Structure 1
Amino acid sequence: MGSTCATCGRREYILREVKNRKDSLGSPTRLQPTGPSQPSTKNQIENQSKRIRVKGIKTHKFSHHPSPSIEGITEASHAEIIDKPKTEEDIKMILTAFNNHFILRSLDEDSKFIIANDMRFYTIGPREIIFEQDKPGLCFYVLATGRLEVTINGQRKNLISPGTGFGEYALIDNRARSATVTTLEKCTLWVVDRISFKEAVKRVNDMNHLENKSFIDSVPLFNTLTSQQKEALLAGLNTQKWHSGQRIVKEGDVGDLFYIIKEGLVSCSQNGIEIRQMSKGDFFGEQSLLYGSPRTATCTAISEVKLISIGSNSLIDVLGSSLQQILYRNTLRIACERSPVLRALSKEQKESIFDCMKVNTFQPGSVIVARGTHKGQRLWIVLRGAIRGPVGAIEKFGCIGDEFLDHPSEGEYMIDYLAEVESDVADISRVSIENCIGGNFNKVTIYNEALSVLKQVHLLRGLSPEKFISLTQALKVMHYSDRDAIVTQNNPGNSFFLIKSGKVNVFKDGVKLRTITKNDYFGERSVLFNDFRTATVIADGQVSCWVLEKDDFLSLIDEEIRQNLIERIELQDDTITLNDLIPIKQLGKGVFGNVFLVGHITTHRLYALKSVSREKIEQWQIQTNLMLERQILLQVDHTMILKLVKTFKDTSRIYFLMEFVQGLDLFDVLIELQLVSDADAKYYIGALVVILEHLHERDILYRDLKPENIMVDHEGYPKLIDFGTSKIINGRTYTTVGTPHYMAPEIILGSGYTFSADWWSLGIILYEFIYGRVPFGEDEDDAHAIYEKILEHKIIYPTNIDPNLAAKPLIQQLLNKNPAARTGGSVDKLKAHKWFANFNWDRLLSRQLKMPYIPKLRSLHNEIEVAFSSMKPLESLIREEESKEEVDFCIWNSMPPPEDWDSEF
């Protein structure tokens, strides 16, 4: 099958195919794997090969322009734009036209109204062209008066009459028009261009999001929710409108909806008597939401009222548990953070304790902690109410007994602790706590500090939590006096040191290089290599270190993991220069640059080198894209994500030096496998879950997850490549980008999206694994037809495959139209889904699982030998390949780059 470059994601013949495609930015025609129910046939593969997936054209933000010309595209160029106020009839006609078009009818009512209100009035004479076939699209039109002719290849196909909308696909991207539209007589039209449309949708969604967030922040019930949980809650809200006199809830009825008033007045009555009136920002129904209890009052609209509401089922979808459980869990977390003793526990240890705690409700005057109870044997945390102790009330978030857990005493509590009001208290015994955390409380918390430092050591990243815990147990604490030599240059090294307290000075050949202090480490190469010490380390004052002996380390780590760690640390060589690299062959040719297999002149280690000419950078205006790609790649360090080694620059080009991955992309692997079993799908999906988790924790949104962007390396492990469309986000983003079959509905609508868009793409891939096809637009070549299928959201499961497949519920969860519901509340909840039962996440991270397929790769030995014998200059090979390119002018990014954009390359 040949070798494949991780940086461009396709084999060589496919990369050339990509270059020649004008409607695609990297997604060539491909064969589709068949489902698990039956083997593929030649006819099936031929039929499936008809589907072409094209990557969405990226749209950019522009300020509103008075003329109908954007991105170099002009439509209705002979039209006169008139500042005409819209009548009620105009608005009604426009909104009616919207409902006949899938993009517009999928918007909320507020967005529709704002867009209708923003549309401009065009008047244009007879026999004038509105837009032409095969030209990029710009605007959506609603014909107000006159008649229009639609022609395809010069043949009349249709007439457009007043009240009809047309050209909606241009609201998504600038793909070519499928027909020419010409006026038959003088016409008037209402028009909105793509940029104005997207800005309007963004404006409405931002406004609603901020307003709803302020409402949520103002409700005391939600005070303990984290910002992430509040964002999920916002995604689950529904907007409802009520007319004056309508009853919203009835006293005595059982309901589970909670309401916040956005607009209008609501009357609250009991037994027919009004007890109060509520207005904007007020809320009701919290008891029903928490406990499902009957309504205690009747609420009636006394004006036009707009409410936002959420139900208990929606809360479970987006938060993963009932609101009461979420609130109590968050209260426990906050209490632990406030306790100096409990704060020393790891997140996993705390969550394990929370799982074992029991919650009891105490009436006023009840005894919580009885006089004479031994200290240090139990922990209590107040979830609601107040407890009277020896020095005043202990309220919500307060702990009892935490200060004795690390140093249990023989003492007893001298007084009773009583509930002052009805109170909820969680409690757990010391024995249960130590069972949860895996050992003596004092010893575990001491080593937690060492564990947190160990996880920062590059060479140890990728080890399982079990291995880390074993390493901490092998650590020894050593103390050094001022000026003690901890290690000496040129001596053998057998120990790795983590500084627990104090600071040390590092000398090489008698010259001081640097000072390092608490939580820094040194001697890491000694546990992997038989190197002599490369420097001397001297204590500067009193120093304590955790010390890990090489023999202890090797007894815990098998040879396979050791080799993986060695390979990883070798990728951290930042001393490499361009002059150290020998070209071996070209691996791929993309739209913006070329990728070459290169070798280090002395170590012979192989790398992939991507070169992008400054000529193309200027012509395509991709400076900002390159800066962002570099920033993202430098942030990620994961064994299943392509590793950036270093970037270079010269007067001709920008270069990215990356690890070289031999393998196949996942799509080709699926074809090789023919049938994807449930277990096989679980391995690959599990790997993608931990990859996305790593990215999202660093605020990186991938945005183009698909099998073509996932390499399967020489050991069968997936590795994510191609970060050209990724973005670092803080909040929501609106850019339309991705590959149509894998794009989430919210990306298509332009309504704003976050990391949940990546989870939708994962759901598409899981469906594809199980059923051998994508769920939306499988047989469609046109991106807009695919978008329409996605927004229709009709998921059809093949009837020839078991309808009770274990993966089906997870597919439905990931493909939920509500973005916040896709993880089931969090990534931890997603990983705990029953489909992943008994899946070993730790062994996956440490690359100890047997993967479904090991690519059969041809040897590169001869090519490498020839390259190192000829020592051909790298520059000559790059120039040779660049001379074969046809450079097309296209502005990819409208924003001017910073003057010093390449300063860090």
Structure 2
Amino acid sequence: MGCAGSTSHERQFFLSKVELFKRLPEEELPELAKSAVEVSYLKGQVIIEENTPGEKLFVIKRGSAGVEINNRRVATLQAGEYFGESALLRNEQCTATITAASSMKALMITREDFMNLGLHTKLELVDKLGKRGAVGGGAVANAEIKEPSSKTPAERELIAKALQENANLSTIATLDTDRVNAIVDVMWKEEVPIGKPIIKEGDLQADYFYVVQSGSFQVSKAETASSDQATPALGLLEAGSSFGELALLYFAPRAATITATADAVVWVTARQQFKDLLMKANERETQENLKHVSKCDCFNPLTEPEKKELAAAMHEMTFVKGELVFEQGERGTQFFLLVEGEVSVIKDGKEVTTLKATGYFGELALERDEPRAATIKVISQSAKMLWVDKESFEILIGSLEDLKKRGRDGTGAVKKLQVAPSAGDTKRFGNIRFKDLKVLGLLGCGGFGAVFLVEDLGNGETYALKNLSKGYVVTSGMQNSVISEKNVQLMCDSPFVVKLYETFNSAETLHLLLELALGGELYATYNKKNLWGQEPCAKFYIAGTVLAFEHLHSKKIIFRDLKPENLLLNEQGHVKLTDMGLAKVCPGKTFTTCGTPDYFAPELIASKGHNLAVDWWTLGILTFELCAGHPPFESTTPMQIYAKVQKGIHKILFPKKLKGNIESLVKGLCHAVPSERLAMKKGGTQNIKKQPWFTGFSWDEMAKFTLTPPYKPHVKNKKDIANFSAKKEDMPPQVDYKDPKTGWDKDFATSE
């Protein structure tokens, strides 16, 4: 390592273009630049070692650096990117080893200098205010999938090697030989002439992954500039390279521009092809469940497709020796199928029989609401069961009583249970007209929409109006999600969930008129009032989220995008869950990868299919963040986050203030196995409410909205938006709308 002599002015210009420092007041940059030292490293030189104290931040000027966790490369950082930021913001150990991947120049700032300048508090606040946008799976119906091209053995070998050497791909999927060959089989060849951008930064058509066979590509990114280059190259991709792997996971605008610097040939595959490949692993699990389901006499009236649908939707639950699955006399809602272990069937205090694997019990719960006729007790060391409840069964397949009447060979249709709006909700719709609403100010912006404060000129009431660009919705393939958002909101009737009053449909925009909560976003409130780490606050807001999830899950609604940005405070300080953009009714499993990267559960990353357990994982992440000030798997890039998630919560170093009950709660919620998360085990949400961290907490008062909030926002009146700080430049893209003539939005409006 050696020092170079760039001027303070040059360093200031470079730092002003770095994302981490962009929102610092301009007058702070000169002193920051003076404290920065230019350093250089040779290829292979270790810059930071994993699990050592963090003392320095580095901003790369030239070259690149490799990021390794447990001796495995998880990412490569390029010019304009930075690492070691925790050394400035928090006194924590380094979570990765950083090595120069090429000869490299960087600017180095020490924690001591940074704190002496007083910038640590300013940057911490500003950095937290950066929005964490949600990403969505989106539809890929518009993505062209071409016929596979023939490949020579050498071409197959090149593609296979590129797939296996892509560290990001191995983070999101296990690429054994069979999977690699399956990906190679479906790829097609395309030629890219010199000068053509194959990917453009910000492009919404982000559905493809590429392997370079020949030629080369330059990676560049707007807003990343150095004193040496007006438009810097972040890297060069040559034969054998691959890129675009995030597109295989979910829909998100492209993060950089990739342009051919020579005539090139690439191999291409689309997200849907990759997802279909991963789905085959789930198909094997479904087939295994189907074997057990097929042995249950009570399901003889089901057709084979119905049995398969049931098998795919069943949840797993584990029990230990001596544990009661259910007790005689209690209300029965679940059917259980014993996969491993042995149980005792006890009636009136006496054992009447024992059941081993492939045995089942609780089948009457699928037909009628009656007390359990016996107690089921686990007598083996452990027992694994598959279960389904009556409501989910009837949503998926229909009434078991009707199925028995029809029979397996019958032709009559069996009516399925329809999820409906909350009782009485539909009567209030159609009373508020869009033309009577006056916009008073901007409340917030998300990935797909903006929210405004509006007043009903007819009666003076104020609401939150969420606007969604139809063009952006269609371009990103989110039509079903938007319709689902409306339907989910119609079903919700909880004081812990923001209420929907009306929906409107205009030429370019869809609108949802929502309950107003003028206390502001929890995320912004925590930053402004420095509530991070204050246990009474965290406990109150976590409890409110638990009650919101209880309501949603009782209706088979999976939320999928919990974070402090999606929790609002009303004028009294009570917490309300908002933004149902990624929520959906899910009686079994669903496979769309979506949410906010910091909160992704492992099964979401691996596209294994997920259920309501995903929400309890996110609750664990929220608990950690509110108590520690940052999420546990925090990293510079999504792929770095996912690599940490896959290693598990037990690899995370918990701050001292989180030791004990908080750590136990977080680990109980963030179990790698979905069925082992606290609320998914027998006892459900009571397992959270009885957790020692909540000792002395009044859940009854919380549920009744009578528990005094730990913080009360300052709100002058029902038009006061001082607790919101969104700006017009934060507005999401407004894409011109071309009606696809499918009628996807025809039933959206409840009023004109």
TM normalised by structure 2 equals 0.59
Contact 1:34 1:675 in 2 (8 A): no
1:103–1:45 CA distance, 2 compared to 1 (3 A):
farther
Residue 175 of structure 1 deviates from its aligned partner by 3.1
Contact 1:125 1:185 in 2 (8 A): yes
1:120 to 187, 192, 195: 187
Contact 1:678 1:807 in 2 (8 A): no
2:495 counterpart of 1:639: yes
Residue 845 of structure 1 deviates from its aligned partner by 0.6
- The SS at the match of 1:807 is helix
Given residue 384 of structure 1, which amino acid in structure 2 is its aligned partner? T
2:578 to 680, 698, 721: 721
> 2:286 matched to which residue of 1?
210
2:687 to 819, 829, 835: 829
- The SS at the match of 1:901 is coil
Once residues 592 and 175 of structure 1 are traced to their aligned partners in structure 2, the CA distance between those partners, rounded to angstroms, is 15
Give matches, 1:597-636, under 5 Å.
Answer: 597-599=454-456, 601=458, 605-610=461-466, 624-636=480-492
2:673 to 790, 814, 818: 818
Once residues 510 and 598 of structure 2 are traced to their aligned partners in structure 1, the CA distance between those partners, rounded to angstroms, is 32
Give matches, 1:678-757, under 5 Å.
Answer: 678-757=535-614
1:114–1:572 CA distance, 2 compared to 1 (3 A):
farther
> 2:246 matched to which residue of 1?
169
Give matches, 1:351-366, under 5 Å.
Answer: none
1:180 to 246, 249, 258: 258
> 2:216 matched to which residue of 1?
148
Once residues 813 and 821 of structure 1 are traced to their aligned partners in structure 2, the CA distance between those partners, rounded to angstroms, is 8
Contact 1:119 1:190 in 2 (8 A): no
Residue 53 of structure 1 deviates from its aligned partner by 3.9
> 2:275 matched to which residue of 1?
198
Cα displacement string for residues 28-47 of structure 1 (whole angstroms, at most 9, x for unaligned residues): xxxx99999xxx97523414
Cα displacement string for residues 419-445 of structure 1 (whole angstroms, at most 9, x for unaligned residues): xxxx9998xxxxxxxxxxxxxxxxxxx
Contact 1:382 1:398 in 2 (8 A): no
Cα displacement string for residues 169-202 of structure 1 (whole angstroms, at most 9, x for unaligned residues): 3323453353535365775x54322232223223
Q: How many residues align?
A: 543
2:208 counterpart of 1:139: yes
1:98 to 161, 164, 167: 164
Give matches, 1:581-600, under 5 Å.
Answer: 583=438, 585-588=440-443, 590=445, 592=449, 595-599=452-456
2:664 to 802, 809, 829: 809
Once residues 888 and 398 of structure 1 are traced to their aligned partners in structure 2, the CA distance between those partners, rounded to angstroms, is 52
- The SS at the match of 1:207 is helix
2:521 to 662, 665, 668: 665
> 2:140 matched to which residue of 1?
62
Cα displacement string for residues 727-783 of structure 1 (whole angstroms, at most 9, x for unaligned residues): 2223222223222222223333333222222222211111111111111235x2x44
Contact 1:35 1:769 in 2 (8 A): no
Contact 2:171 2:642 in 1 (8 A): no
Cα displacement string for residues 587-607 of structure 1 (whole angstroms, at most 9, x for unaligned residues): 5365646533325745x5544
Once residues 741 and 272 of structure 2 are traced to their aligned partners in structure 1, the CA distance between those partners, rounded to angstroms, is 15
1:141–1:611 CA distance, 2 compared to 1 (3 A):
closer
Contact 2:665 2:691 in 1 (8 A): yes
2:242 counterpart of 1:384: no
Of 803-812 and 84-93, more deviation after overlay is shown by 84-93
> 1:759 matched to which residue of 2?
616
1:770–1:805 CA distance, 2 compared to 1 (3 A):
farther
Given residue 560 of structure 2, which amino acid in structure 1 is its aligned partner? R
Residue 898 of structure 1 deviates from its aligned partner by 3.8
Once residues 666 and 888 of structure 1 are traced to their aligned partners in structure 2, the CA distance between those partners, rounded to angstroms, is 27
Given residue 108 of structure 1, which amino acid in structure 2 is its aligned partner? T
- The SS at the match of 1:329 is strand
Contact 1:597 1:606 in 2 (8 A): yes
Of 762-771 and 146-155, more deviation after overlay is shown by 146-155
Of 583-592 and 688-697, more deviation after overlay is shown by 583-592
Give matches, 1:208-607, under 5 Å.
Answer: 208-217=284-293, 318-319=317-318, 321-322=319-320, 324-325=321-322, 329-330=325-326, 332=327, 336=328, 342=329, 379-380=348-349, 382=351, 384=353, 573-574=428-429, 576-578=431-433, 583=438, 585-588=440-443, 590=445, 592=449, 595-599=452-456, 601=458, 605-607=461-463
Residue 660 of structure 1 deviates from its aligned partner by 2.6
Residue 697 of structure 1 deviates from its aligned partner by 1.7
Contact 1:716 1:854 in 2 (8 A): yes
Which structure has the larger Rg? 1
Contact 2:211 2:268 in 1 (8 A): yes
Once residues 614 and 296 of structure 2 are traced to their aligned partners in structure 1, the CA distance between those partners, rounded to angstroms, is 30
Given residue 702 of structure 2, which amino acid in structure 1 is its aligned partner? L
Once residues 629 and 610 of structure 1 are traced to their aligned partners in structure 2, the CA distance between those partners, rounded to angstroms, is 12
Once residues 439 and 315 of structure 2 are traced to their aligned partners in structure 1, the CA distance between those partners, rounded to angstroms, is 53
Given residue 552 of structure 2, which amino acid in structure 1 is its aligned partner? L
Once residues 474 and 344 of structure 2 are traced to their aligned partners in structure 1, the CA distance between those partners, rounded to angstroms, is 67
> 2:416 matched to which residue of 1?
none
Of 892-901 and 129-138, more deviation after overlay is shown by 892-901
Residue 117 of structure 1 deviates from its aligned partner by 4.0
Cα displacement string for residues 73-129 of structure 1 (whole angstroms, at most 9, x for unaligned residues): xxxxxxxx8732575993696167325322335423567346424442426487475
TM normalised by structure 1 equals 0.50
In structure 2, stretches of 5+ residues that fail to align are: 1-22, 24-87, 93-114, 222-230, 300-306, 335-342, 365-370, 378-422, 722-726
1:360–1:814 CA distance, 2 compared to 1 (3 A):
closer
Cα displacement string for residues 594-639 of structure 1 (whole angstroms, at most 9, x for unaligned residues): 533325745x554444566889888888765543222111111001
Cα displacement string for residues 331-370 of structure 1 (whole angstroms, at most 9, x for unaligned residues): x4xxx5xxxxx4xx6579x9xxxxxxxx9999xxxxx9xx
- The SS at the match of 2:253 is coil
2:743 counterpart of 1:897: yes
Residue 641 of structure 1 deviates from its aligned partner by 0.8
- The SS at the match of 2:705 is coil
1:91–1:200 CA distance, 2 compared to 1 (3 A):
farther
Once residues 171 and 671 of structure 2 are traced to their aligned partners in structure 1, the CA distance between those partners, rounded to angstroms, is 19
Cα displacement string for residues 404-460 of structure 1 (whole angstroms, at most 9, x for unaligned residues): xx9xxxxxxxxxxxxxxxx9998xxxxxxxxxxxxxxxxxxxxxxxxxxxxxxxxxx
1:98–1:677 CA distance, 2 compared to 1 (3 A):
same
Once residues 151 and 433 of structure 2 are traced to their aligned partners in structure 1, the CA distance between those partners, rounded to angstroms, is 63
In structure 1, stretches of 5+ residues that fail to align are: 1-13, 15-31, 69-80, 236-317, 337-341, 351-358, 363-367, 369-378, 387-394, 400-405, 407-422, 427-567, 864-880
1:383–1:233 CA distance, 2 compared to 1 (3 A):
farther
Given residue 286 of structure 2, which amino acid in structure 1 is its aligned partner? L
1:174–1:710 CA distance, 2 compared to 1 (3 A):
closer
Contact 1:384 1:424 in 2 (8 A): no
Cα displacement string for residues 848-894 of structure 1 (whole angstroms, at most 9, x for unaligned residues): 2222111121235899xxxxxxxxxxxxxxxxx99xx9984267998
1:624–1:46 CA distance, 2 compared to 1 (3 A):
same
1:800–1:732 CA distance, 2 compared to 1 (3 A):
closer
Identical columns (%)? 19
Once residues 83 and 569 of structure 1 are traced to their aligned partners in structure 2, the CA distance between those partners, rounded to angstroms, is 57
Once residues 689 and 569 of structure 1 are traced to their aligned partners in structure 2, the CA distance between those partners, rounded to angstroms, is 25
Once residues 713 and 598 of structure 1 are traced to their aligned partners in structure 2, the CA distance between those partners, rounded to angstroms, is 17
Once residues 674 and 458 of structure 2 are traced to their aligned partners in structure 1, the CA distance between those partners, rounded to angstroms, is 50
Given residue 595 of structure 1, which amino acid in structure 2 is its aligned partner? F
Contact 1:695 1:701 in 2 (8 A): yes
Given residue 712 of structure 2, which amino acid in structure 1 is its aligned partner? I
Once residues 887 and 696 of structure 1 are traced to their aligned partners in structure 2, the CA distance between those partners, rounded to angstroms, is 32
1:770–1:160 CA distance, 2 compared to 1 (3 A):
same
